[in-house]
Amino acid sequence: MAIRNIIEMGKDDILRKHSRKVTKFDHRLGVLLDDMADTMYEADGVGLAAPQVGVLKRVVVIDVGEGLIELVNPEILWSEGEVISTEGCLSVPGRRGTVQRPEKVRVHAQDRKGNPIEVEGEGLLAVCLCHELDHLDGVLYVDKMIEDVTDKIEEENE
Ligand code: GNR
Ligand code: NI
C-alpha cells in the first residue's frame, strides 16, 4: 500500500493522453488498485483515474460514501437524463466548475480478477463515473465546464 503523487493539469501532458485497455489481471494491477484507493482516500477524493497517478491504463476507483468500487476497462452501456452539478478534480486543485452530465448511467467493467461487473449510478455516483471515464480519454471537467464557480464558492464561505 502506498500513496502515489497526483499529477496536476498543466504540469504534464499525461493527463491528455488516452489510456490503454488492461489485458493482464496480475499482481501489478492489484498493487495499482490498492495504491489508487489509498491515494484517493488520503486526498479526500471521491474518485481517481490511473492517468492521474501517471499510469496510462483504463483503471478507476470510486467511493462516494457507499464503499469502494474498482473498475477495470469501464464502458458506459447507457445513460439517461441530464443534470448540471458542480465538480472539482484532484488534478485541478482549488477550483470548481459546473458541468452537464447524465442523471443516471450504467457501466460495464471488469474487476481486478477480470470478471465482468456492472455498476449503475445516479446523482454523485453518475457524475463521478462520467468524470473518471473521461480521464481515461484525456478529458478533464474543465473542457466541458459551463461556468467556473471557484470565486462564488469562496464568497459563500466568507
Ligand atoms: O474528489 C472529487 N470530487 C468530485 C466532485 C464532483 C464531481 C467529480 C468529482 S471527482 C474528484 C476526484 C477526481 O479528480 N477524480 O478524477
Ligand atoms: Ni478528476
Domain boundaries, the chain: 13-157
Helix (H, G, I), strand (E, B) or coil at 4: coil
**Alpha-carbon gap, residue 136 to 153, rounded angstroms:** 28
Which pTM was predicted?
0.97
* Ligand 1 contacts CB of residue 71 (under 6 A): no
Furthest CA-CA distance within the chain: 50
CATH of domain 13-157: 3.90.45.10
C-beta separation of 34 from 41 below 8 A: no
Give tens-digit pLDDT for 92-142. Answer: 999 999 999 999 999 999 999 999 999 999 999 999 999 999 999 999 999
Joined grid coordinates for residue 23: 489485458
* Ligand 1 contacts CB of residue 114 (under 6 A): no
Q: How many residues are present in the chain? A: 158
